[in-house]
Structure 1
Amino acid sequence: MDPLPTLISDLQTPCLLVDIDKVKRNCSRMIQRYSDLGVELRPHMKTHKTIEGGELMTNGTRRKIVVSTLAEAEFYADNGFDDIIYGKPVIESQLSRCKKLHEKCSKFHLMFDNEEAIYALERNPMKNKAWTVFLELDIGGKRTGVQWDGDRVVELARLATKAQSVEFLGIYTHSSVSYSLTSDKAVRSQAESDTKKILNVCERIQQAGIPVGVVGLGDTPCCSVSDISMAKLTEVHPGNFIFYDTQQCSIGSCEFDDIAVRVAARVISHKPEINQIVLDSGFVALSHDGLYCNLPNGIAVFQDHPELKLVNMSQEHGCVSVKSGQIDCSAYPLNSMLFIYPYHSCATAANHPVYYIHSGEKVIGVWKPVKGW
């Protein structure tokens, strides 16, 4: 393996840069916020998928995390993490892998939003443990989860409680409605609304005589501004906050200076006849997330170059123009480096096999994320 370059300017491009000082600050702030509220922080690993990031998000405990894939769960379990939630409704074809994770971890939890999942767990009991499960709720995200205000909520909780091979732990939701908002005030109001909904579900289940041990809610916008009502929750599970991005900044979740990731790219072609320069960074390095959001800078923001706008991408080409007037190609020499703040850091990071960690201009290490499903 080649030695690690000393400076950012020595790196091959395109590549993903992670500002370790900002990452540590983002993690410390979120940990302190929920410590002050008396609510457990169970961070989601999906944004970075690395051991080092997990260490920082859990304050070194390697306990209480959420993952988005079984590959992530296996990766973290193999590296000493425990108390892991697999954050999607489980299906029967996954249970052989889930059994191995249950054997490896002292606590490995599943989510469900339908009767068939409980029947599948009953058909596949474990020898010395019960399957521990959370009922996922849809409180507006229109993704997975049982509708929060419907009758099936109590019915599903009762089914899980009566199952011989299952232990019902509580309820869990990721609203994501906050991602459509554009101010911290609106996000705070949404956090209050989401909290009221999940507490209403908790009350209805308890009134049916079913214990609810855990009430978990979260997305990065709501958890970053946190309405005081969230102190009534058991735990929260944001993930993007480790890196943030321009989307989070536009929502009001963070300040621009909190964004801890950039894509480094180099100028590879001048096209004055069509008013563009071309970078070596296409959608494989940046992702297409945000492409249809009609943002003033396109789907990315260029560091120190507010005049630039990313106008088109193919797999390995990024076409850049200016917001108005004629581009001065001489201002962006061939082989010069530009830095792009991504719209959605989760999607951008997922495209990179390694992250280059830096403090200031000095490269100090690499993180290698787990890949696959």
Structure 2
Amino acid sequence: MATSNVGLRVDQLTTPAFLVDYAQVKANCNNMLETCNKMGVRLRAQTKTHKTIEGAELQTGGTKKCLVTSTLDESEFYADHGFDDILYGYPLIPFHMPRVTALTKRLEKFHVMVDSRLAVETLLETPPPSPKTWSVFLKVDCGNGRAGVWWEDEEGIELALSLSSASSRITFCGVYVHCGNTYHADDPKDVDVLRDENIERLLKFVERAKMRGVVCPTVGIGSTPSCRRPADTMKKLTELHPGNYAFLDVQQSTLGSCSLEDIACCVATRIIGHYPRRNQMLIDCGFTGLTKQGEGKMPSGYCVIKDHPNLKLCSMTQEIGFVETIKGKLDYAKYPVGTMLFLLPWHSCATAAMYPVYNVIQDGRVTAEWKPTRGW
């Protein structure tokens, strides 16, 4: 039988354990809400980093409105808990339609995202639940190279025209761009260049659509690296949709999105053995507790070991991590077996996905447990 960790001190937790600093998550969420408010744009918060009710409440400032999800499971999860105005931010295919129909019927506002002629034709051929229309965003690729119609191609304009001209069945909401290419930047200045390039390309697409008689009510971009480095160019938009900013991570710190102190999550692990012959220690967190993302990215290995800048997580098996020094010999007296270490993840979305329960920490104790939804 599962037992609750609420009330336990951090040092009483079974490890590895995923810890969430409540005060820091709240500060990160408030920061993004204030950023959007100052720029006069709407925040449509992406939930895929945490996938929890509590996190989404903080992201929306308690309104429980205006989210973007990455799975239909998330959309249904939030609908079940009183959230509305939800965008399923994933390319629509015909297989999705039964669940999309149910969500459209039950919510005041449920939106889908398309980037293909097949998706548009599917919506045109499928009657929406009365008295609703299908609420639709067009996904545009402005350089990320994932989903979306290429911003220069005429195909995107033709799809926008088809969507906007089918008003009896479709409400065309506008355009959506994920500027995920900012994650591949070499430094913060490159993030700024890519952010502005995405915005410039999107606005050119919107202007071309306008010349064909297509109005885009919503013009939105999103990625945490771009949105944590706001610029005046963003004031030309109507909506931002970042998500990782709620937790942040080491990767974000390398991109200029935050400092290590802003990271709101970590993995607690314990030292389980000393091996002086090879200048190593073992910890009870392997790749199933952290993931191997970040390999080759940092001198400290797969993560940053909080408050121990000379320690490196150099290798992992499924349940075990290998820790050594970056320079010099390990002083084992400083690290008795059983000592807790705290790992700041390279990518918090992936690490959070390893855990069915998040231990929410305030003043060194677990004050709540957040249980994310899982599945697709």
Q: 2:312 aligns with which of 309, 312, 330?
A: 309
Provide structure 1 residue ranges, at least 5 long, that are not aligned to the other structure.
none
Aligned-pair CA distance for 1:324: 1.9
Other-structure match for 2:360: 357
Aligned-pair CA distance for 1:124: 2.1
Q: Is the 8 A contact 1:170 1:212 kept in 2?
A: yes
Q: Is the 8 A contact 2:104 2:129 kept in 1?
A: no
Q: Is the 8 A contact 1:26 1:243 kept in 2?
A: yes
Other-structure match for 2:154: 151
Other-structure match for 1:2: 3
Q: Is the 8 A contact 1:137 1:145 kept in 2?
A: yes
Aligned-pair CA distance for 1:182: 4.1
Other-structure match for 2:89: 87
Instruction: Please give the root-mean-square deviation of Cα atoms over the aligned residues, in Å.
Output: 1.3
Secondary structure of the structure 2 residue equivalent to 1:311: strand
In 2: Cα distance, 1:20 partner to 1:369 partner: 15
Secondary structure of the structure 2 residue equivalent to 1:217: strand
In 1: Cα distance, 2:149 partner to 2:194 partner: 19
- What TM-score do the two structures reach when normalised by structure 1? 0.97
Other-structure match for 1:188: 192
In 2: Cα distance, 1:121 partner to 1:320 partner: 53
Alignment of 1:91-130 (within 5 A): 91-128=93-130, 129-130=132-133
How many residues are treated as equivalent by the alignment? 372
Aligned-pair CA distance for 1:247: 0.3
Other-structure match for 1:300: 303
Other-structure match for 1:170: 174
Does 2:274 align with 1:270?
Answer: yes
Alignment of 1:241-256 (within 5 A): 241-256=245-260
Does 2:209 align with 1:208?
Answer: no
Aligned-pair CA distance for 1:52: 0.3
Does 2:332 align with 1:323?
Answer: no
Provide structure 2 residue ranges, at least 5 long, that are not aligned to the other structure.
none
Alignment of 1:6-85 (within 5 A): 6-85=8-87
Aligned-pair CA distance for 1:119: 1.2
Q: How much identity, in percent, do the aligned residues show?
A: 43
Instruction: Give the counterpart letter for 1:2 in structure 2.
Output: T
Q: Is the 8 A contact 1:50 1:370 kept in 2?
A: yes
Q: Is the 8 A contact 1:182 1:252 kept in 2?
A: no
Alpha-carbon displacement from aligned partner over 1:131-156 (angstroms, at most 9, x marks no partner)? 11111011111111110111111111
In 2: Cα distance, 1:127 partner to 1:218 partner: 30
Other-structure match for 1:257: 261
Instruction: Give the counterpart letter for 2:154 in structure 1.
Output: D
Q: Is the 8 A contact 1:215 1:234 kept in 2?
A: yes
In 1: Cα distance, 2:129 partner to 2:191 partner: 45
Q: Is the 8 A contact 1:45 1:54 kept in 2?
A: yes
Q: Is the 8 A contact 1:308 1:323 kept in 2?
A: yes
In 2: Cα distance, 1:174 partner to 1:360 partner: 37
